[in-house]
Amino acid sequence: MRDLIVTQNISIDGVIEAGDWFGPADGGPGVLEAMQEQMSRADAFLAGRVTFEQLRSFWPARTGDSSGVSAYLNQVQKYVVSSGLQDPAWEPTTILRGLDDVRRLKDTTGADIVCTGSINLTHQLIAAGLVDEYRLFVYPTVVGQGHRLFEAGTHKLNLREARPFRSGVVLLRYAAPAESGSRP
């Protein structure tokens, strides 16, 4: 069984909505190294349709990317959850039609499956108990409003790691709660 990892850039007040307040360069070299470490442990990238299309419009043609993100996204097996997408137009990509397909993917052998961005999909994964770990790059920024990682309710998580960087960004790794159906 594979681990499904939700990784997000998140403001100190819990906002994950994309904006100009985060990025690998903003976090300094330690954040970039942590991202590269995560990429080396994952052989699958999971996204919802909107995030997938945003990534597809930017990363494949990107040149001069010293972060390694472009090379990683162009070669990693991508999975996009969509009921309407017919042709992903970015290989290697497999279209999944729903959470049952995500469950089947988790049951295969392989390395980590990483889901980033994709807030609607992430909320569905959390509700279905499919998340094994959260990796949150917490930026020392208050955004005030926007989409949040967790919807209303209490989510008790188990801390696995807290790694601060000189920039003030902190990587927090949490195991998903065992009662959600995920592994402790």
Residue 65: what residue type?
A: D
Q: Which residue has the tokens 């090379």?
A: 71
The domains found in the chain, sorted by start residue, are 4-180 (3.40.430.10)
pTM to 2 decimals? 0.90
Q: What pLDDT, on the 0 to 100 scale, is given for residue 90?
A: 96
Q: What pLDDT shows up at residue 23?
A: 58
Residue 48 one-letter amino acid: G
Convert the pLDDT of each residue in 26-66 to its tens digit. Answer: 667 788 899 999 999 999 999 999 999 999 999 998 888 88
d(CA 157, CA 57): 34
Q: Low-confidence residues of the chain, pLDDT below 70?
A: 18, 20-27, 178-184
CA distance linking residue 64 with residue 15, whole number of Å: 30
- Structural tokens at position 3: 């681990």
Q: What pLDDT is stored for residue 183 in this prediction?
A: 42
Written as one string, the DSSP assignment of 119-175 is: HHHHHHHHHTT---EEEEEEES----SS-BSS-SS----EEEEEEE-TTS-EEEEEE
Q: What pLDDT does residue 181 have?
A: 45
Check residue 98 and give its pLDDT: 97
